[in-house]
Amino acid sequence: MNQKNDTRSRGPRRSSGGAPNRSRSGGGRPAPVSSAYEAGMRFALENGFKRPATAAVEFKRSRSGGGSRGPRRDGGSSRGGFGGGDRGSRGSSRGGGRSGGRNYQEMNVDLSKLVNKATAPAEVEVYTPTHAFADFAVDERLKANIANKGYTTPTPIQDQSIPYVLAGKDVVGLANTGTGKTASFLIPLIDKVLKFRALGKDERVLVMVPTRELAIQIEEEFFGFAKGLGIASVTCVGGANIVPQIRVLKRNPAFVIGTPGRLKDLMERRELNLSNFGTVVLDEADRMLDMGFIEDMRFIMSKMRAERHTLFFSATMSRDIERLIGDFLTDPVQVRVKTRETSHTIDQDVVQVHHSQKFDKLVEILKQDSFEKVLVFGRTKHGVERLAKDLRSAGIRSDSIHGNKTHSARQKALIAFKRGDVRVLTATDVAARGLDISGVSHVINYDLPSTYEDYTHRIGRTGRAGKTGQALTFIP
């Protein structure tokens, strides 16, 4: 960083009315920091002014949690800007200090992981499934619905996991995002409900997911597979009116799809009794851990039958995930189809640009005709909201999705983006996991994510269904 910009970012700490530097102790007691200084610093950071490199090093070394790092993360929560589920502002189980400056530095250092040319289809090893959907031993009406949705050849995770689920085995499915995990559990579990009904028994299924959007997407898939089968579902998510959810729950739908916070709320209101649920799916379990839902997950699972059928899907296998598997599953079959960290269909590159010029560069890029349907990721809720407004002012049709928006507003923005009514959707990491938005031509990391894992899930929104996509990452 040049001296001019360094001086500008240090401005609030000069003796002419600014607050003293709290990160460097000169031996005396630091002066109190005024609310005007804090507000000014937040405004500066959210509008592209970067802290001096020396301060970043000090933050990296600090072990005091959210204290000195707070303004960099929109209020000090390590995950607060992401707004992923119905408790988007709660802290991550990773702690306040782990996902701030340190991971930001790691992303900057290994630029080779952010640059990659998409592999030509002819150079990619083609997976040969051992089944066709018509081969699976499922209800013929369900097979007809599968065919009507255009499903003929299973993806690797579907091909390998569906037979085990049909056999009643606990399954741990490890696969990259966008590999068809939803169908790999919906198809056999719908068939399971039908078979139980033929025997005069009532089987109910709980599907637990980290975000509202993923829950709604799963229900949409469910509607297609369960059409005309007389099987009902309800989606229970925060940010939406709880009264209609309670009304549907009273009808005992076979499938309950929800986020941990809302499910726990319904249980505490005694509107959801899980003692008669024999099957549970934990989808995107690693994301639920990241969002701090571990205790809610344990509480919910403790209220289910001890003998149950459990399906567990995750993109990663950490020690925390291994512990959950040991606690929740019985003699599980592991299906691992992850082959690489990022999809071979994504062309990745970096754009080196100074913070003060980021917005102008973004507008310049988005005005190119090839950028047809673009997801732009930012770090904070306020930042992506402001970015969408600024893009509209620049003549670019855009909308935003983040945790501060109501459930209906988020759905409206997603629908507009899917239909092409807006060309650019700015988002926090709430949109990085699970969402299946077809035809995304580009993903732009306007702000770096906190971890490389989050990066892979962001860019996984493009290059889907065999199409090539492009991911660009802005770096200073």
What is the per-residue pLDDT across 413-424, written as a single tens digit (0 to 9) for each? 988 998 899 999
175 and 316 housed in the same domain: yes
60 and 152 housed in the same domain: no
Query: Is 158 domain-assigned?
Result: yes
Query: Is 463 domain-assigned?
Result: no
**What are the structure tokens assigned to 165, written together?**
């689920």
Q: How far is CA 230 from CA 146, 187, 215, in A?
A: 16, 15, 20
Low-confidence ranges of the chain (pLDDT < 50): 1-31, 33, 49-106, 109, 121-124
135 and 284 housed in the same domain: yes
What is the per-residue pLDDT across 321-349, written as a single tens digit (0 to 9) for each? 888 899 899 999 999 886 555 567 788 88
Query: Is 117 domain-assigned?
Result: no
Give the end of a domain, one of 316, 336, 356: 336
Residues 331-348 as b/e (b if ≥16 CB within 10 A, e otherwise) read ebbebebeeeebbbbbbb
Query: Is 412 domain-assigned?
Result: no
- Cα 43 from Cα 37, distance rounded (Å): 10
Residue 38's pLDDT is what? 59
- Cα 240 from Cα 262, distance rounded (Å): 10
79 and 130 housed in the same domain: no
Judged on CB neighbours under 10 Å (0-12, 13-18, 19+), 126 is: exposed
Residue 6's pLDDT is what? 44
- Cα 200 from Cα 223, distance rounded (Å): 23
Residue 386's pLDDT is what? 94
149 and 59 housed in the same domain: no
Give me the number of domains the chain comprises: 2
Query: Is 378 domain-assigned?
Result: no
Residues 274-304 as b/e (b if ≥16 CB within 10 A, e otherwise) read beebbbbbbbbbbbbbbbbbbebbeebbeeb
- Cα 122 from Cα 101, distance rounded (Å): 40
148 and 40 housed in the same domain: no
Give the end of a domain, one of 313, 336, 359: 336
Is residue 438 within 8 A of residue 418, CB to CB? The reply is yes
Residue 180's pLDDT is what? 86
324 and 179 housed in the same domain: yes
Q: Is the pTM of this model over 0.75?
A: no
96 and 154 housed in the same domain: no
Query: Is 445 domain-assigned?
Result: no
Residue numbers of the domain that contains 82? 3-14+33-109
Is residue 53 within 8 A of residue 1, CB to CB? The reply is yes
308 and 212 housed in the same domain: yes
Residue 425's pLDDT is what? 94
91 and 137 housed in the same domain: no
166 and 46 housed in the same domain: no
Query: Is 75 domain-assigned?
Result: yes
**What are the structure tokens assigned to 261, written together?**
């916070």
105 and 141 housed in the same domain: no
Phi-psi region of 324 (alpha: psi -120 to 50; beta: other; left: phi over 0): alpha
Residue 275's pLDDT is what? 93
Give the end of a domain, one of 336, 351, 384: 336
CATH number at residue 185: 3.40.50.300
Query: Is 230 domain-assigned?
Result: yes
